[in-house]
Structure 1
C-alpha cells in the first residue's frame, strides 16, 4: 500500500487508488480516523494507493497554504479510483463542513462510498442524497473500506 499525504505528488494516476474523504482533526488530541482506516486497509491487504488530505505528521501549521490544500484535494479526488467518505461527525471536533461539499460534488461520480457511525450527527441529508445517487452507505469503518475496495475491483482496472 502506498500512502500519499497532502502536497505529496505521485507521477502516475493509479486507478487502484482510494481517497480517504471526511472531516480532519485541526488540533492536538482530536480523533484522526484516517490512522484507523490505514490500519484496516493494511490488515485486509489493500495493495493500492491511498490519498490522505492531511500533513504526514498530522498537524496543520498556522502558516499553511489553504489554496494549495484545496487544489491538492481536488486534484486527488478527481484522480482517485474510489472516494471513501467516512464521516464520524462531531460538531465540536470533527464538523465535516468541507466534507459535505465534497460529497455533494462527487456523489454522482459512480466512485463514492459513504460511511458514518450511527452516533454521527446531521447525516440524514447526506444519507438521503446517497440513496438518490446510488451511493452505498455503511455504518462501520471497516465495512465502508471493504466496499470501497470492492468498488475498485469491480471497475476492472
Structure 2
C-alpha cells in the first residue's frame, strides 16, 4: 500500500518495482507525464509490500552531466523491474521518444511489459509499429494511462512478491 519513488541514478532497491519508460521532456516548458503515472500507481497499489517506482528523471528536472551513468541506471532498472510501463504520448516536437523505441524493442519479449499509446496524442501514427510489434508478441496494449497502470499492477501481482 506504500509507493516509493526511485529517481534516476539512485540505488535500486529489491522488491516489487515498475519502471516508467517513455519519452522524457527535454525542456522545462514541457510537462512530464510521470507525476500522473506515480499518482495512479499510488491509487492502484494495494499489496502490503512497498512498490518501487523507477523514474528515469531527476527530481527537480536536473539533467545528468555523465550520460553513461544515466544509461547504465536505466538498463539496470529495465532489467530489475518487475514490470515495465511504457507510456508514449508521442509528439515529435516535444516528446519524440526515439530512445523509447529502442528500449521497447530491447525489453518487449520479457513478459513484463505493457504498452500505453494514447490515440489523441499529437503523433499517434508514429506509435503504429510499436503497437503492431506488441500485439505480435502478446504485450498488452492500452490507450489510457489508467489502463496502462492497471495492467502494470496486474503484471507485478502475478509475480510472487512475498518477502
TM-score band, normalised by the shorter chain? over 0.9
Offset of 1:139 from its aligned partner?
A: 0.3
**1:84·1:113 contact (CA, 8 Å) conserved in 2?**
yes
Cα distance in structure 1, aligned partners of 2:45 and 2:140? 22
- Map 1:116-127; keep pairs closer than 5 Å: 116-120=117-121, 121=123, 122-127=126-131
Would the aligned equivalents of 2:45 and 2:51 in 1 still touch at CA under 8 Å? no
> 1:9 corresponds to which residue?
11
Superposition RMSD on alpha carbons, in Å?
1.3
Deviations 1:48-91 (A, max 9, x none): 11100001112326xx1111110000011001000000000100
Structure 2 unmatched ranges of 5 or more: none
Match of 1:150 in 2: 154
Q: Distance in 2 between matches of 1:126 and 1:87?
A: 10
Where does structure 1 lack aligned partners over 5 or more consecutive residues? none
TM-score (norm 2): 0.89
Aligned to 2:105: 104
Displaced runs of 4+ in structure 1, greater than 4 A? none
Q: Which residue of 2 aligns with 1:43?
A: 43
Judging by fraction of residues, say which structure has more helix.
2
TM-score (norm 1): 0.93
SS in 2 for 1:32: coil
For residues 108-152 of structure 1, the C-alpha deviation after alignment (integer angstroms, 9 at most, x for no partner) is 000100001102320110001001111000000011011100111
Give the Cα–Cα distance (whole angstroms) in 1 for the partners of residues 45 and 127 of structure 2.
Answer: 30
